[in-house]
């Protein structure tokens, strides 16, 4: 049920792009797609199609719910639970396309209609969740669950459906339900506003360099990209650098001009905190207050307790316990790295104390000094197309699946590519879109989403349509897209999510998902293979000569791989702690200063001034935009799992061991949410994981 209609919690994500318009008889959403593999006909979908499809989708689902409620027959698993799970297909159909395109290619019209539809969709969701007669039928089936002879999948759907109603206010009295509706609508709109403000802030800033001497230290590919960015922004001379990661991060790492590093760094960490029309301070204050009110209304002491109730961690104490175990060794390692940075500053004959805009620059120099390692040596071997083929090779090696490029297909954006995934026996598993490069209409970061979820219809498997969206270094006039080591890992990471979607085989929407702190296991385990020598031989080939990455460079890459983990771990854990600290609050002062709160809550733990939280509060979209609310810790929680899971391959002496891969696919990637998450892991591994492999992998022990 929760996967078919827009809940208040995810309205912002699903509502970030439509446009109003009159009803169109040719609206592609209102008929079966006739495209290959029935992918969305992106070339036919116009702005005016979204709103009518949303409105009709809500109307159709309301009628379907009414039919369930008014069914004169006794409530059964089929006529109530399955009927509810299968309701809202049109709404799901338009929501998935709308959500995906808004995140990857938004515009002003889409964002305006997002705001128009947000309260309508919130109300629609609440009308279902708080339908007393519908809940009576669900409860009637639930109360008979022991005598219905349900299989494991059916039993799980029944359990989750009943719990969804409880979690969404079905047991509240009328007054409390009315208040919950208000809060859901408010939270939805605030999350939507936060994300739109963040995108506007990211796009608003550019650093325009006009003097060539200010480019000192920058690699040629970044200079070429900046020159093209300048032309693209209408400037006849100079170079333009932006706050998108492929631009700002290498600038901070390589630019000799310290003043310019400071300018762009401060612009980056102050997004949403500039006192302008896109300022997110008040949005955050209202949002955490509304979330706390909702949690208390639902009988919880704080919002984190409510959010964690359905996750592996279960309690705030369990989350803090994990983060604290990693925090102390990470801070210690970061202080060692800071000493290296200060030593590099001294080598320049200077004695200033390093600041945040110095860290990447001098840490890179320290890494080169320690390991004779320049990351620019690696990039020529990481041509985007080769990295993509490498991840396809890994999937084939582990699971026997193949990916074949498709031609003459509708694309969500002209830059996207599309592939068919086939299983080892040649059967169709699904379709995968890849969209690599940043643009002003695309939100930052990288993610894996879907334009259609896997399910069953008339007894036949409906294959998923999956998309991976990234913000990687673009090709320039002189060379193809050459990835950084981090970007290569990111591609493999998101591909792990894609495999999870492609391999999933469940019959009901309501059990297709897994807990937030388990969902990163399939993605993060995929990162372990990226720089294994056996993998590098397959795909790490010089873009000009075709030469495989030399053994000497592979060894340097391996030896230097753990350097910098102090910084990386501290900035991540800081963000995780910040997310939790906001959501364990049990009182929200009316005058809450969110940036002061951030400073105090991280300062008391000894966060180094040179390392800001990976996401500061006013641009922390993972938590304030919804999705990872009281859940950003999930990457670390899942890392405990993935580090331990990869040991299962290494213990065999074969990192591609087919039997281990088959078990991982069977017990982790295929079942959706049919089993308890820890049971899924133990079914694969035979035991619960320990934290030791994680600390070892990060070089913290």
- Contacts from 258-261 at CB under 8 Å and sequence distance 24+? 258/357, 258/358, 258/361, 260/207, 260/209, 260/214, 261/357, 261/358, 261/361
Q: What is the pLDDT of residue 25?
A: 59
What are the structure tokens assigned to 601, written together?
Answer: 């809550």
User: Considering only CA atoms, which of 656, 641, 649 is closest in space to residue 693?
Assistant: 641
Residues of the chain with pLDDT under 50: 1-24
Q: Strand 447-452 vs strand 455-457: parallel, antiparallel, or unpaired? A: unpaired
Q: Which residues contact 152 (CB under 8 A, 6 or more apart)?
A: 674, 675
Tokens 């388990």: give the residue: 518
The distance from CA 346 to its chain's CA centroid, rounded to whole angstroms, is: 40
- Residue 366's SS3 state is helix
What is the per-residue pLDDT across 167-214, written as a single tens digit (0 to 9) for each?
999 999 999 999 999 999 999 999 999 999 999 999 999 999 999 999
The C-alpha atoms of residue 502 and residue 522 are separated, in whole angstroms, by 12
Handedness of CA 478, 479, 485, 487 (dihedral sign): positive
User: Considering only CA atoms, which of 527, 536, 436 is closest in space to residue 489?
Assistant: 527
Q: Which residues contact 690 (CB under 8 A, 6 or more apart)?
A: 640, 644
User: Considering only CA atoms, which of 213, 80, 71, 222 is closest in space to residue 137?
Assistant: 80
The C-alpha atoms of residue 94 and residue 451 are separated, in whole angstroms, by 9
Contact predicate 197/283, CB 8 Å? yes
Taking CA atoms, 690 is separated from 259, 637, 683, 694, in Å, by 45, 11, 16, 8
Q: Which residues are catalytic?
A: 494
CA angle centred on 633, ends 627 and 638, rounded to 5°? 95
- Residue 364's SS3 state is helix
Would you put residue 421 in left (φ > 0), alpha (ψ -120 to 50) or beta? beta
- The string of DSSP codes covering 61-104 is HHHHHHHHHT--SPP-IIIIIIHHHT--HHHHHHHHHHHHHHHH
Which helix (H) or strand (E) is 261 found in, with range? helix 258-269
Four-CA torsion 353, 358, 364, 370, nearest 10 degrees? 0
Q: What is the pLDDT of residue 373?
A: 87
Q: What is the pLDDT of residue 589?
A: 92
**CB-count burial class (<10 Å; 0-12, 13-18, 19+) for 47:** middle
Contact predicate 494/468, CB 8 Å? yes
Q: Strand 447-452 vs strand 417-422: parallel, antiparallel, or unpaired? A: unpaired
The C-alpha atoms of residue 533 and residue 18 are separated, in whole angstroms, by 46
Q: What is the pTM of this model?
A: 0.93
The C-alpha atoms of residue 290 and residue 652 are separated, in whole angstroms, by 51
The C-alpha atoms of residue 97 and residue 79 are separated, in whole angstroms, by 29
- The string of DSSP codes covering 478-545 is SS--B--HHHHHHHHHHHHHHHHHHH---S-GGGS---TTTTTHHHHHHHTTTT-HHHHHHH-B-TTT
Contact predicate 493/457, CB 8 Å? no
The C-alpha atoms of residue 158 and residue 511 are separated, in whole angstroms, by 10
Return the domain boundaries, the chain: 205-269
- The string of DSSP codes covering 107-139 is -HHHHHHHHHHHHHHHHHHHHHHT-HHHHHHHH
């Amino acid at each position: 049920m929760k996967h078919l209609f827009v809940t208040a919690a995810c309205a912002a994500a699903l509502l970030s792009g439509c446009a109003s318009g009159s009803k169109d008889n040719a609206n592609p959403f209102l008929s079966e797609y006739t495209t290959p593999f029935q992918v969305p006909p992106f070339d036919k979908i116009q702005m005016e199609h979204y709103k009518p499809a949303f409105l009709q989708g809500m109307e159709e689902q309301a009628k379907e719910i009414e039919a369930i409620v008014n069914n004169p027959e006794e409530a059964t698993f089929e006529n109530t639970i399955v009927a509810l799970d299968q309701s809202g297909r049109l709404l799901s159909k338009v929501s998935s396309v709308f959500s995906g395109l808004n995140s990857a290619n938004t515009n002003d019209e889409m964002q305006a209609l997002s705001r128009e539809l947000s309260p309508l969709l919130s109300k629609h969701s609440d009308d279902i969740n708080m339908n007393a007669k519908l809940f009576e039928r669900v409860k009637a089936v639930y109360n008979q669950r022991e005598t219905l002879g349900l299989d494991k999948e059916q039993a799980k759907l029944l359990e989750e459906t009943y719990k969804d109603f409880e979690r969404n206010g079905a047991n509240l009295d009328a007054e409390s339900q009315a208040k919950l509706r208000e809060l859901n609508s408010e939270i939805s709109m605030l999350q939507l506003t936060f994300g739109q403000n963040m995108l506007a802030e990211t796009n608003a800033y550019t650093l325009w360099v006009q003097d060539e001497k200010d480019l000192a230290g920058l690699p040629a590919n970044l200079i070429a990209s900046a020159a093209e960015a300048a032309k693209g922004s209408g400037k006849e001379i100079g170079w333009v650098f932006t706050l998108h990661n492929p631009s700002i991060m290498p600038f901070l790492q390589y630019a000799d001009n310290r003043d310019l590093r400071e300018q762009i760094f401060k612009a980056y960490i102050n997004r949403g905190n500039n006192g302008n029309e896109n300022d997110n301070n008040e949005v955050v204050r209202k949002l955490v207050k509304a979330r706390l009110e909702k949690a208390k209304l639902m009988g919880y002491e704080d919002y984190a307790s409510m959010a964690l109730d359905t996750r592996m961690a279960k309690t705030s104490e369990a989350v803090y316990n994990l983060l604290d175990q990693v925090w102390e060794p990470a801070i210690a390692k970061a202080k060692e790295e800071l000493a290296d940075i200060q030593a590099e500053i001294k080598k320049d004959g200077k004695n200033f104390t390093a600041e945040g805009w110095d860290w990447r620059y001098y840490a890179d120099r320290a890494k080169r000094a320690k390991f004779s390692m320049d990351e620019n040596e690696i990039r020529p071997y990481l041509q985007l197309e080769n990295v993509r083929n490498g991840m396809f090779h890994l999937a084939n090696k582990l699971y026997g699946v193949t990916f074949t490029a498709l031609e003459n297909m509708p694309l969500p954006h002209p830059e996207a590519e599309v592939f068919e995934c086939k299983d080892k026996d040649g059967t169709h598993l699904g379709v995968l879109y890849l969209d690599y490069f940043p643009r002003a209409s695309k939100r930052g970061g990288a993610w894996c989403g879907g334009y259609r979820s896997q399910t069953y219809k008339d007894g036949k498997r409906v294959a998923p349509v999956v998309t991976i969206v990234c913000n990687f270094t673009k090709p320039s006039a002189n060379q193809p897209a050459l990835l950084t080591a981090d970007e290569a890992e990111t591609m493999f990471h998101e591909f792990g999510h894609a495999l999870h979607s492609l391999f999933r085989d469940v019959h009901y929407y309501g059990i297709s998902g897994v807990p937030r702190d388990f969902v990163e296991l399939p993605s993060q385990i995929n990162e372990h293979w990226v720089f294994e020598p056996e993998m590098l031989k397959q795909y790490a080939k010089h873009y000009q000569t075709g030469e495989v990455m030399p053994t000497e460079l592979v060894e340097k890459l391996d030896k230097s791989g753990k350097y910098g983990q102090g910084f990386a771990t501290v900035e991540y854990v800081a963000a995780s702690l910040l997310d939790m600290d906001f959501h364990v609050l049990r009182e929200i002062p009316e005058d809450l200063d969110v940036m002061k709160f951030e400073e105090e809550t991280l300062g008391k733990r000894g966060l180094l001034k040179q390392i800001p939280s990976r996401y500061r509060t006013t641009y922390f979209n993972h938590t304030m935009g919804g999705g990872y609310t009281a859940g950003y810790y999930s990457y670390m929680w899942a890392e405990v799992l993935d580090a331990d899971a990869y040991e299962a391959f290494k213990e065999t002496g074969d990192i591609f061991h087919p039997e281990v891969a088959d078990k991982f696919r069977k017990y982790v990637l295929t079942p959706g949410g049919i089993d308890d998450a820890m049971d899924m892991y133990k079914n694969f591994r035979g035991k619960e994981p320990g934290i030791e492999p994680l600390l070892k992998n990060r070089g913290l022990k």
